[in-house]
Chain A
Amino acid sequence: MLKIKNLDATIDNKHILKGLNLNIKPGEVHAIMGPNGSGKSTLANVLSGKNGYETKGDIQFNGENLNELSTEERAQKGIFLAFQYPLEIPGVNTNIFLKTSLNAVRKAKGERELDTLTFLKLIKEKASELGIDEKFLSRQLNVGFSGGEKKKNEILQMKLLEPKLSILDETDSGLDIDALRIVADGVNSYKNKDNAFLIITHYQRLLDYIKPDFIHVLSNGKIVKTGDADLGIQLEKTGYTSLS
């Protein structure tokens, strides 16, 4: 599904990713761990198509060259990034945002756009699965939401848009145990043999709930070690310094 070959990324003359390789197949859950400043969020940003990065290397997503696609095209083709810091957007109603987003993706896929009633029924159902109060959906997007509410809202968007590849950028940060479980349940219930996850995290904590098939350690812009789920537990004990 996703094939990254020799990816380099530079921003503001800072060389951050230095020859990163990664292969993700459908049905797999990959976790990327690593110390602060190792390039984890840069990888997420580059995959989402954020402006400002100078990149070299090759990224293929289902056979298409990702570098040639705009951010919105990537989303329409099934790449979803759950933001580390979801943005607050004053004046934009959450429901209207969700509907616009869903219909943009449906339209790009050649599917029928949903009318308001059908949409509201669908969103109500998805929100209740995540324990999100409907009232949130009529508020301004993320404005005044707590950290946990923002992250739940990201998972709601993921479940609504049904992406092929979901990238979770430190979705666990700022979550209490209950919220963490709800978010993890949300991910686990969406997981199937056709979609894949790339989970970026500092801590083993989230991986206790979402079991990864692979754990990669990112250090100084490169993957320096790859292992199975046990690698996370080992890192929790020894720290990252033991690897470098």
Chain B
Amino acid sequence: MQQFYDFKIEKIKNLSSEEKILRKKNLELFYLNGFPSKKDEDWKFTDLKFILGQNFTNIVNTDLIPKERPYKLINDFEHNFISLVNGKLITKSFDYEEKDKIFISNFDYKNEIISHRENTLNFLNNALAQDGFSLEISKNYKLKKPLVIYNHFSNSLKETIVNNKNSIILNENSELTLINFVDNNSEENFMVNTMEDIKLKKNSSLKKFFINNTKNNAYFYKYLKNDLEKNSNLENYILSSGLKLNKLDIEVNHNEEFSNSCIFSALNLLNSEHQEIKTRINHNAPNCHSYQKIKNVLNNESKGVYQGKIFVKNIAQKTDAYQLSRALILDDKAEFDAKPELEIYADDVKCSHGSTSGSIDLDSIHYLKSRGIPEKEAYQMLINGFLCEVLEKLNENNLKKFLLQKLEDQIHGH
């Protein structure tokens, strides 16, 4: 295959010579193998090298200076917000909060280090990352309103890759609801490669939502590393339908006792959309609880992938870990791949996994139609019911209403 990318460290401004050396080394490591392909076990269902090769002619890293663009704020619920353009922090608004309890700034590449080496995209990120943000919530502070992160992208990003790093720290006994809102209807192809580190200190709680608002031609990859201390709580909700490609690589480390994590996803994929959720839940301490429920509705030639691994260390007794993936396959050309994996070294644990895929239940369709509901609407009701179930446990009324509406928009093809 012809090389379809060309990356240059020189495009990044204000680097110290030390940084330059480190970044060059990472870029060399990337160039050894290039983008991950199906030969890599972790990428066997998402052959990124092939997919990008088919959809890009020459990807370059950008030296574009992001500028604020006008955008609409969500008015369904009150919220704080920050806005990012191409990953760069542009505006921040914390009108509902005590300002000295929240620290938000550009990611500081000179002093903060996030450097994973799981795959070549991590190397590429280490080499090229710019912008991104650091967010820290003070001890004992519980945000009164959710924080929305508005993600926008320049129109001129065609054939480019954006790399950035984010860091989120919740100090002891703090709480945050965070909505990562991607709003971009660019028809141009571009890629975003993000690495995000999340640290939950004792008794802290983070609820995270990932919502994609409009259909677009974006290729997203995000590596999320979550470190959980004692009694902390992490909830992830993924509603990212509409992206051309999306792979979320989620690592959750239950490092101390009584920490709790959940991952819920509800995706309705159309056309040739392709999304993968790969998780690695490491139970490194006893008495922790993890829960994953992944739901996909696959239309046309779309593809959904779930690779979920639960690892239980020998000392992690009384672990309670659960994973379930369910797919509705609505078209002969659509595909769902699931690879559940359990690796358990403790003997007193409760671990279970399940995976089902099938077509829509025609008897249920008949039942709805026999009540006068037109066929198309009957299908949408069932799909909606299948996916909305993952939001059932939420109790924030306005936010839940908003999420259900977004999900419905996605089911109707945005």
Establish whether residues B377 and A91, one from each chain, have CB atoms under 8 Å apart when the complex forms.
no
Q: Which residues of A contact B382 (CB under 8 A)?
A: 89, 91-92
Establish whether residues A71 and B370, one from each chain, have CB atoms under 8 Å apart when the complex forms.
yes
Establish whether residues A101 and B384, one from each chain, have CB atoms under 8 Å apart when the complex forms.
no
Q: Which residues of B contact A76 (CB under 8 A)?
A: 372
Shortest distance between the CB of B249 and any CB in chain A (Å) = 28
Stretch at the interface among A9-17, A80-88, A178-186, A215-223: A80-88
- Cross-chain contact of A91 among B362, B371, B373, B386 (Cβ < 8 A): B386
- Cross-chain contact of A97 among B362, B368, B370, B374 (Cβ < 8 A): B368
Establish whether residues B375 and A161, one from each chain, have CB atoms under 8 Å apart when the complex forms.
no
Q: What are 6 A-B pairs with beta-carbon distances under 8 A?
A: A71-B370, A81-B370, A87-B361, A97-B381, A104-B374, A161-B371
Establish whether residues A100 and B389, one from each chain, have CB atoms under 8 Å apart when the complex forms.
no
- Residue pairs across A and B with CB atoms within 8 Å: the count is 76
Establish whether residues A87 and B372, one from each chain, have CB atoms under 8 Å apart when the complex forms.
no
Q: Which residues of B contact A97 (CB under 8 A)?
A: 368, 371, 381
Chain A residue at minimum C-beta to C-beta distance from B384: A91
Establish whether residues A90 and B370, one from each chain, have CB atoms under 8 Å apart when the complex forms.
no
Give Cα distance in the complex from A69 to B290, angstroms: 50
Q: Which residues of B contact A140 (CB under 8 A)?
A: 385
Establish whether residues A101 and B388, one from each chain, have CB atoms under 8 Å apart when the complex forms.
no
Residue from B363, B364, B370, B381 with most neighbouring chain A CB atoms (10 Å): B370
Establish whether residues A75 and B372, one from each chain, have CB atoms under 8 Å apart when the complex forms.
yes
Q: Which residues of B contact A100 (CB under 8 A)?
A: 373, 377, 381
Q: Which residues of A contact B363 (CB under 8 A)?
A: 87
Chain A interface residue count, CB cutoff 8 Å, equals 28
Q: Which residues of B contact A104 (CB under 8 A)?
A: 371-374, 377
Establish whether residues B369 and A70, one from each chain, have CB atoms under 8 Å apart when the complex forms.
yes
Establish whether residues B367 and A90, one from each chain, have CB atoms under 8 Å apart when the complex forms.
no
A48 interface residue per 8 A CB criterion: yes
Give Cα distance in the complex from A106 to B369, angstroms: 14
Q: Which residues of B contact A108 (CB under 8 A)?
A: 372
Establish whether residues A75 and B367, one from each chain, have CB atoms under 8 Å apart when the complex forms.
no
Which residues in window 384-401 of B have CB below 8 A to A? 384-389
11 further contact pairs, Cβ within 8 A, besides A50-B366, A89-B382, A104-B372? A49-B370, A72-B370, A72-B378, A87-B361, A89-B381, A91-B388, A92-B385, A100-B373, A104-B371, A108-B372, A161-B372
Residues of A whose CB lies within 8 Å of any CB of B are 48-51, 70-72, 74-76, 80-81, 83, 86-87, 89-92, 97, 100-101, 104-105, 108, 140, 157, 161
Q: Which residues of A contact B367 (CB under 8 A)?
A: 83, 86-87, 89
- Cross-chain contact of A51 among B361, B366, B372 (Cβ < 8 A): B366
Q: Which residues of A contact B387 (CB under 8 A)?
A: 91
Chain B interface residue count, CB cutoff 8 Å, equals 24
Establish whether residues B389 and A91, one from each chain, have CB atoms under 8 Å apart when the complex forms.
yes
Establish whether residues A72 and B389, one from each chain, have CB atoms under 8 Å apart when the complex forms.
no
Shortest distance between the CB of B374 and any CB in chain A (Å) = 5
Given A90-B385, A91-B386, A100-B377, verify A72-B364 contact (CB < 8 Å): no
Establish whether residues A157 and B366, one from each chain, have CB atoms under 8 Å apart when the complex forms.
no
Give Cα distance in the complex from A26 to B231, angstroms: 68
Establish whether residues A157 and B389, one from each chain, have CB atoms under 8 Å apart when the complex forms.
no
Give Cα distance in the complex from A42 to B113, angstroms: 69
- Cross-chain contact of B386 among A70, A86, A90 (Cβ < 8 A): A90
Give Cα distance in the complex from A12 to B216, angstroms: 45
Establish whether residues B381 and A92, one from each chain, have CB atoms under 8 Å apart when the complex forms.
yes
Shortest distance between the CB of A72 and any CB in chain B (Å) = 5
Give Cα distance in the complex from A205 to B389, angstroms: 40
Shortest distance between the CB of B9 and any CB in chain A (Å) = 50
Shortest distance between the CB of B296 and any CB in chain A (Å) = 14
Give Cα distance in the complex from A75 to B386, angstroms: 25
Give Cα distance in the complex from A89 to B371, angstroms: 14
Shortest distance between the CB of B204 and any CB in chain A (Å) = 32
Residue from A48, A72, A75, A157 with most neighbouring chain B CB atoms (10 Å): A72
Chain B residue at minimum C-beta to C-beta distance from A88: B364
List the 9 shortest-distance A-B pairs measured between CB atoms, nearest first: A91-B385, A75-B372, A101-B371, A71-B369, A92-B385, A105-B372, A104-B372, A87-B367, A91-B389
Which residues in window 340-385 of B have CB below 8 A to A? 361-364, 366-375, 377-378, 381-382, 384-385
Q: Which residues of B contact A91 (CB under 8 A)?
A: 382, 384-389
Q: Which residues of A contact B361 (CB under 8 A)?
A: 87
Give Cα distance in the complex from A49 to B381, angstroms: 20
Establish whether residues A75 and B371, one from each chain, have CB atoms under 8 Å apart when the complex forms.
yes
Shortest distance between the CB of B367 and any CB in chain A (Å) = 4
Give Cα distance in the complex from A70 to B373, angstroms: 11
Q: Which residues of A contact B381 (CB under 8 A)?
A: 89, 92, 97, 100
Shortest distance between the CB of B359 and any CB in chain A (Å) = 14
